[in-house]
A and B are shown apart, each in its own frame.
Chain A
Amino acid sequence: MSTPAINLTNLCQHYGVHRAVDHLTLTIPEGEIFGFLGHNGAGKTTTVHMLTTLTQPSGGQGQVFGFDLHDQAQDIRRLIGYVPENVRLYDNLTTKENLAFFAGLSGVEDIDSAIQSALAFLDIEHLANKKVGSFSKGMRQRVGLAQAILHQPKLLFLDEPASGLDPLGMKMLRELITKLNQEMGMTIFMNTHLISEIAKTCTSIGILSAGKLVFHGTIAEVNQRFAHEGAIEDLYVNVLQTQQKETV
């Protein structure tokens, strides 16, 4: 059995008395497109910050491809790519200069060729020599994706990737995510609060509420339980209502 992409046991993140992530236990196998669903403030971004080694967990255990979150951050960073919500780059630099910078940080050997491949993959070669400061949200999102895949990571984190995109932009993003998963073999971890995105893109989902994982399963399992078009929406409402009742 291969090492899971993500393996978490009772992972916690506390800020004083506030439990942003509360005993999260989750396993995501390699090759999945995992949708992490939850309200704003549910703890999705906090989880991603821990998984991308930006912050240290307050408690619990976690591994990314077998590397420990607490003390193997550098090994994890070599394997991941990250696109934050509202990605912004260095406005005064061109796309190519931005990408060359991130490729340099990632230890890419042939920087020019890596940039060329990423630009071609995302179909943004025409933006190569333009300063990113003048780009629209959608264009920035693509350059943001390019910087995250330059070093061909095994696991890609996307934090609210569809936020602020128009319908066409969302469609293109969906296609790109699928392409990254299928053609480049990347495992995708996607934070979102847009149920429609999950249904159209993901292979498995997790629902987070007040820092707690209240559901985890494959899309096939969801469709089995709620066999109609609004399956995930129904599941989402259902599990959250159940949890609220339990809390009361």
Chain B
Amino acid sequence: MSNPAQSTIHQTFAMVRKEWLEARRDRFFSALTGFMLLAALISLTTGAIALAAEVADFTSAKDLLLSLGKSITNLDAGEFYPLKLLRGAIEQIEIVGAVLGIIVGFRSASGERGRQTLALVLTRPVTHRQFVMSKALAGISLIASSLLMVFAALTIFLIVISGVGLSTDDLTRIGLIWGLSTLYVSAFFLLTLLLCLHLKNPATALLAGFITWLILVLIAPQIGDTLDPDNQVAGGVFKQLHVQKAEQDKIKQGYATFETIRNGVEVASITKHFERASFAVLGIKDNYTGKPLLPILSEKLSDLLWVLFSFLGLAFITIIKPLQFSKLVKE
């Protein structure tokens, strides 16, 4: 192995392969993937049941009109978009997927630290950066494969329960969201890996990972809805009070600072950007339903870039930050 580049590839491959081998034997990773899959499928089933109830209502209304000898031309049948059923599954990936990322990151780093195998690895002719990069590559590829299983199962389930075949456009959209989900979940993985490789105590790193998860996944995205003044009354305050658009804007100017902060907190969360992009691409949000993909991608470019740059930024810091072995060894 005289060629250094070739040698680096072999070493990286050896480290990634080892991580895969360990994950394959580790029931914990399979259990987590299984749990995420189950949660996503349950959400999909719940959505399908709700849709079936709507269809049943429509059918009974149609039958009633027909039995009364009335016309059904004014009865809006609506259009069925199977991808809309993925709403719950996307929400599960937002929450459970992020947890999967955190746990994979924690186990990847703390496993080496706890077993003291780090010393054995770092006394080989591999650079610290190469070691961290291999860990990152292995974790990201594991997450991608785990999500691939989830999305494949969701697609098959979607076809089965909807009874409608998915078009190439639908499959492209699902594929795109699988990629976006991989970036989103991997961002949490990288964050925890980074913390675990640089904090003195891995348990503190895990705690910090979960606090970040709590803020980014559960609190910040909800702030938008909860603190939006217009959302304080069902259907919207302005709509209920019949306030015209011009008047609305004038009122809103009175609390512009509050609105800027509220929106700022909301958009600071990677989860919100992931959700906005996913809901738009899959046509889950009504204003994107049935729209072609390219204009949606163009409109949601900032959300897509936010997820991508969060991932890239964390990957860059994780790989570039030098490891301090004395901090990582067991006391």
Return chain A residues, CB-CB under 8 Å to B15. 101, 104-105
B247 at interface by CB-CB < 8 Å: no
Which of the four size classes fits the interface of chain A? 20 to 34
Return chain A residues, CB-CB under 8 Å to B116. 84, 86-88
Minimal beta-carbon separation of A18 from chain B (angstroms): 12
B325 at interface by CB-CB < 8 Å: yes
Return chain A residues, CB-CB under 8 Å to B14. 100-101, 104-105
B30 at interface by CB-CB < 8 Å: no
Q: Which residue of A lies closest to B323 (CB)?
A: A54
Which of the four size classes fits the interface of chain B? 20 to 34
B325 touches A77 (CB 8 A): no
B10 touches A54 (CB 8 A): no
Which residues of chain A in 88-144 are interfacial with respect to chain B, using CB atoms and an 8 Å cutoff?
88-93, 97, 100-102, 104-107, 109
| Contact partner, A92, options B10, B11, B13, B25, Cβ 8 Å | B25
B117 touches A74 (CB 8 A): no
Interface of B is mostly: helix
Q: How many residue pairs bridge A and B at CB < 8 Å?
A: 82
A5 at interface by CB-CB < 8 Å: no
A63 and B279 CA atoms in complex are apart in Å by 60
B26 touches A82 (CB 8 A): no
Given A77-B125, A104-B13, A104-B14, CB of A97 within 8 Å of CB of B21:
yes
A54 touches B22 (CB 8 A): no
A192 at interface by CB-CB < 8 Å: no
Which residues of chain B in 110-141 are interfacial with respect to chain A, using CB atoms and an 8 Å cutoff?
115-117, 119-127
Minimal beta-carbon separation of B6 from chain A (angstroms): 10
A187 at interface by CB-CB < 8 Å: no
Residue from A15, A54, A91, A107 having most chain B Cβ neighbours under 10 A: A107
| Contact partner, A102, options B10, B17, B25, B124, Cβ 8 Å | B124
A80 at interface by CB-CB < 8 Å: yes
Return chain B residues, CB-CB under 8 Å to A78. 125
Chain B 7-29 interface mask (CB, 8 Å, partner A; 1/0): 10011011101100110011000
Given A93-B22, A97-B21, A105-B15, CB of A77 within 8 Å of CB of B124:
yes
Minimal beta-carbon separation of A15 from chain B (angstroms): 8
B1 touches A92 (CB 8 A): no
A109 touches B1 (CB 8 A): yes
Minimal beta-carbon separation of B24 from chain A (angstroms): 9
B67 at interface by CB-CB < 8 Å: no
B positions within 8 Å CB-CB of A: 1, 7, 10-11, 13-15, 17-18, 21-22, 25-26, 115-117, 119-127, 325-326
A positions within 8 Å CB-CB of B: 15, 49, 52-55, 74, 77-78, 80-82, 84, 86-93, 97, 100-102, 104-107, 109, 147
